[in-house]
Amino acid sequence: MRGSPKFDTLIALTVLFLLIFGLIMITSIGVPKSIALSAPNVEYPDCSADGVDCYLLFKNHLLRLGVALIAFMVALKMPMKFWKKISAPLFFGIIILLLLVLVIGSSHGTIATNWLTVFNTSLQPSEFAKLALIFYLAKWFTVKEDSVESFADGFVPFCIICGAVGLPIVLGNDFGTVVVLAITGTVIYVLAGARFKHLMLGVFIAMMVSIVIVTAIPHVRERFQGFSRINEECLEDYCWQSQQANIAVGSGGFFGKGLTQGVQKSYWLPQASDDFIFAASAEELGFIRIIFVVLAYLVLAVRGFIVASKAENQFEMYVAAGITTWIVMQAFVNIAVNIAIMPVTGITLPFVSYGGSSLVACLMGIGILLNISQNTTYYANSFYRRGNRGPRFTQYSRYRRA
């Protein structure tokens, strides 16, 4: 046992694989967007032409990865008591930033108003809102554990807390992030001991709100209408995106067209290096290779919940489960959009997509998860277990079906 890593090495290696995969695919897929950004006024640009940088996206992503790795190391080394102590200031600080986005935020050519420009750098507070919500709910449920089953002191405050973060994001037209937040918050609520009837009431309320949003907001309605017409000829933006993503995945077949050989990224598939990087990658790599990306997120799900089940206290258990749910659910929602089994949501593929705020937030989350695993890895790895060292997950969960 001496010399073995203190943290969960399988989680670390899986994330490293996804980061390297993202760098490779952004290099391969990002050439058309790099040309467009570096030489917007050059007719018939070529990589050898003056002012044209075919690897601009790769360079930018590499720089952002460097910043994200620094944030990762800080999160890995920072004691969990620190995160518990600042959970409330962090939560309310994020809410202020989300409200500020509604006033002076930028859309960067999308429908969602998500970004703040700070020193010529775009910051997306909604990405960090996921982590802030996890910390706040983890601390709140730890302190209020005797009130979790109560409607007035458990369910209602839980809805208010989630709504305080979700409402500004909804007003900024970022509905994909709200879905991830809602699922993440609900998982923590279930682990804390939510009553079944309260969960069903929450699901009903969420469905009613969703129906109102879909019917009342034109561009959201268009997304669902477009999603229902992906097999028809269409010119609308959202059915076009889903349709072209379908073509990219299908045309890749089992073995793919090869790196840099994808066609959809150049003219037809919008946001090929961002929201639709999975589809663009599937075209170049094929099913046999892209399936390893899906398996990587499944590994993160299994290992993350094992870490949560072995956590030393309730707060760490809630945080580990919340981070795992957030990253894995965001990944599978993104993949579902890319293979056209969900409407377009506009969220990134964790560790892979081109985007600074998402990369920094996700690596911070993994740093914290590995931090928690430092005291649980011995028990989490089955070949280290000896004697009666079964899961401790159930001692914290007080889930009721009444």
Each residue's pLDDT tens digit, 201-235:
999 998 898 888 878 777 677 767 666 666 666 65
Helix (H) or strand (E) holding 123: strand 121-123
pLDDT in tens, 17-35: 999 999 999 999 988 888 8
> Does residue 197 register a pLDDT over 70?
yes
Q: Which residue has the higher pLDDT, 84 or 108?
A: 84
Alpha-helical runs (H) found in 30-174: 31-38, 56-77, 80-104, 125-143, 156-171
For 82-86, what is the mean pLDDT? Answer: 95
- pLDDT value for 400: 41
pLDDT in tens, 269-313: 878 888 899 999 999 999 999 999 999 999 999 999 999 999 989
For the whole model, what pTM was predicted? 0.89
Domain ranges of the chain: 9-383+391-395
**How many of the other CB atoms lie within 10 Å of CB of 345?**
20
Strand partners for 157: none
Q: Is the pLDDT of residue 240 over 90?
A: no
Contact 157, 362 (CB under 8 A): no
- Say whether pLDDT at 10 is over 80: yes
Q: What is the pLDDT of residues 175-189, one digit of tens each?
A: 889 999 999 999 999
Across the chain, what does the average pLDDT equal?
Answer: 85
Q: Which of 48-57, 252-261, 317-326 has the lowest mean pLDDT?
A: 48-57
Query: Per-residue pLDDT tens for 317-348?
Result: 999 999 999 999 999 999 998 988 888 777 89
* Nearest CA-CA partner of 101 in 91, 117, 116: 116
